[in-house]
Structure 1
Amino acid sequence: MRRLVSLNEDSLEVIRILHAQNLVVGVDNRIPGRPFFWPVLKNRQTVGKWNEPSYERIAILHPDLVLSYGNRPGLELEKKLGPLGIQVLRLDFYKMLSMPREIKTLGMLLNRERGAEIFLKWYHRKLDLIQDLIKKDPHQPRIYLESYSNYHALGPGSGGYEMGVLAGGQNIASHLSIPYPEVTPEWVLTRNPDVIIKTVSSMAAYRSGNPETLRKIRDRIIHRPGWRNIRAVKIGRVYVMESDICAGPSAIIGIAYMAKWFHPRQCSDLNPEEIHRQYLEQFQGVAYRGIYVYPNEH
């Protein structure tokens, strides 16, 4: 493979882990909006939205391979590009249980197996550390994880749900059968979670040094009708987390924060910021900076 187009930003982080940015000739239209995080790829040709790409723009670039999410865009992607001799590879990278296998797959395809092996060794070392710590706590807190859309939980099948499980939480949406079920304020209130985490996607976390935006989001959650009676609100365990650390290979950072919030005594020495620093500097080749969670308590 010599020429790649990526419609999956998580795949770009994997490509950077594999030292294969030179193969990327096209990206979706989110990448130029994050020039600080993507200094090498910010000027690559854009091919439209990640879920609604321009097939004409893709064809002009003559890629060997297009990387996309598992279910978006739809099958039209293969129908349009297949006759042109362009291969489509669907890898999510945001689901924790399948991500290691997907990284190995891309590493093999790009002849970068060694890079994949080095990263996965680091990743599993961090994950094993977290698992060893949370096993010391017999209590699993009841957690409500909310997706980017208000009152949409992170349920079974979502990457965020898997993160919560790996961090030792008991998700109040575990009995629901879809990844992002819509719920009501009353539904959350009656289930009375011990911890609430709201995920957001500002696309500005890396360049921002100001927690004010996240603080305002947290305040709005706390002041939702009736929610002052929820245990998580009463005891101050309401958190906001940026998408930068709750999807893709960087989700190990989000898992570390969750573990620390769910099991503060057992994980008192766990340092998510240091894990984040290592990830950015060793595997992404960019400096550590930005605000990703609020409040950030140790």
Structure 2
Amino acid sequence: MSRARIACLLVGALSSIGCGVSTTPSEVPISEATITVTDLAGREVTLKQPIERIVLIRGRDIYELALLLGEEMRGKLVAWGPDLKAYDRDGYEMFVEAYPWLADVPNIGSIYRDATSVEQILDLNPDLVIVENFMRERSHDSIDRMERAGIPLLFLETANDPLVDPQRSLALLGRILDREDRSREINEFIEARLQEVYSKLDDIEEPSPSVYLEQGARGVATFGWTWTYDSQRRLSCWAAIVGRLPSRNIAVGVVPNLTPVHPEYLLAKDPQLIIFTGANWPTFPDTIRLGYTADPTDARSRLRAYLGRPGWRDLQSVRSGRVHAIFHGFCMHAFNFVALQQLAKWLYPATFADLAPRERLDEFHRRFLPYACQGTWMISLEDKG
């Protein structure tokens, strides 16, 4: 995809936020003021203004809410889902350290188990309940029940197009939370970082390398899932990110999305790069630990353990040291630019030698988040970026 085409897509996606948006006149009493927007499921939604009581069905959306509201979340966030603590323990600990009151925010049950308590949410009388499109696409009963009950749902999208959707979600949240200037500043930073990659794509002359992606959660003995096309024939999650770079994902067209490849198929394809994703997933003790509290020596040791899989030491990616791991959550949050920059450096190290994704991640934290960046977010077999 050419640089101009990518830029047009990004501008179009971001400028579409606010289409069909209307607000009540300024003379309307504040207690009766509303705003009408089109959410990212295409639904027209009318919300009270100002928004004073917020529920996060997916706890991990705290990243985006904190980017816009910071300490002003206190008193506004009245409940959230448990998934931040369950699937991003490092992030949970950092947020609770920055905002100790978060530890006491009520848990409304896991949407991933379709166990969200609709009754509890009704009792909280929220002005805004933030949900994600995947919850509707997976036909969660709790989402249907909330819609039927008239609960003010706002659907966001973060991972269908992981290099565009987080910005669209931030722009929409900025609109309804009266933080448009803040969301615009953040999105401009993100787009500038993405353009540091897009601006050089047309200069690449090397053949596209073959790539294998795996979620490194379950350890060496069990092949984790990979990413290909979703049910709507869109490249999903990490497949979409690597797909923005000249590359050949060996799983596309071979296995369904979110399923593992067959070990013998991987050996036969002999990919030029292998890229795992990792995080602090407490339910998976053998995961490749990456994130705020990850230690580089431990992370590299966990990555090296995969070389013990049958036949792997003969793979060209292993012999050349092109086996890497990167923080899984980059594919669903506003620091998506880190994923693209790091993958670009791994796929085309000469072309993108000047990129510094870790330094950009540190800068993003300094400017927009309530705590400094620390830990290990990407790792390679060799002690280099």
Q: Assess same fold via TM > 0.5.
A: yes
1:10/1:31 CA distance change after superposition, 3 Å: closer
Q: Does 1:54 align with 2:117?
A: yes
Alpha-carbon distance in structure 2 between the residues aligned to 1:175 and 1:131: 25
Q: Does the CA-based 8 Å contact 2:225-2:261 persist in structure 1?
A: yes
Q: Does 1:98 align with 2:165?
A: yes
CA RMSD of aligned residues (A): 2.4
1:56/1:239 CA distance change after superposition, 3 Å: same
Aligned equivalent of 2:214: 146
Give per-residue Cα distances to partners, 1:1-53, cap 9 Å, x unaligned.
Answer: 32111122442212122226343221112445522234323432221224232
Aligned equivalent of 1:221: 306
Aligned equivalent of 2:326: 241
Q: Does the CA-based 8 Å contact 1:164-1:258 persist in structure 2?
A: yes
Q: Does the CA-based 8 Å contact 1:167-1:256 persist in structure 2?
A: no
Aligned equivalent of 1:276: 361
- Counterpart AA for 2:82: N
Aligned equivalent of 2:317: 232
Aligned equivalent of 2:17: none
**TM-score (ref. length: structure 2):** 0.71
**TM-score (ref. length: structure 1):** 0.89
Q: Does 1:21 align with 2:73?
A: yes
Give per-residue Cα distances to partners, 1:75-129, cap 9 Å, x unaligned.
Answer: 4223332354312223231332433323222222222222221111111110011
Alpha-carbon distance in structure 2 between the residues aligned to 1:152 and 1:87: 35
SS in 2 for 1:135: helix
Give per-residue Cα distances to partners, 1:258-278, cap 9 Å, x unaligned.
Answer: 111111111111101111011
Structure 2, gaps ≥5 residues long? 1-50, 230-234, 282-288
Q: Does 1:171 align with 2:238?
A: no
Give per-residue Cα distances to partners, 1:182-207, cap 9 Å, x unaligned.
Answer: 31111111112111111123157444
Moved more, 213-222 or 75-84: 75-84
1:176/1:218 CA distance change after superposition, 3 Å: same
Moved more, 39-48 or 230-239: 39-48
- Counterpart AA for 2:131: S
Q: Does the CA-based 8 Å contact 1:205-1:290 persist in structure 2?
A: yes
1:209/1:78 CA distance change after superposition, 3 Å: closer
Alpha-carbon distance in structure 1 between the residues aligned to 2:140 and 2:197: 38
**Aligned match of 1:290 in 375, 378, 382?**
375
Alpha-carbon distance in structure 1 between the residues aligned to 2:67 and 2:195: 20
Q: CA deviation at 1:67?
A: 1.7
Alpha-carbon distance in structure 2 between the residues aligned to 1:10 and 1:35: 12
Aligned equivalent of 1:137: 204
Q: CA deviation at 1:229?
A: 2.1
Report which of the two structures shows the higher radius of gyration computed on alpha carbons: 2
Aligned equivalent of 1:267: 352
Q: Does the CA-based 8 Å contact 1:202-1:242 persist in structure 2?
A: no
Alpha-carbon distance in structure 2 between the residues aligned to 1:217 and 1:96: 28
Aligned equivalent of 2:54: 4
Aligned length, in residue pairs: 298
Give per-residue Cα distances to partners, 1:233-278, cap 9 Å, x unaligned.
Answer: 1101111122243321122112211111111111111101111011
Matches within 5 A, 1:52-201: 52-72=115-135, 74-94=139-159, 95-139=162-206, 140-147=208-215, 148=217, 150-156=223-229, 157-176=235-254, 178-201=256-279
SS in 1 for 2:300: helix
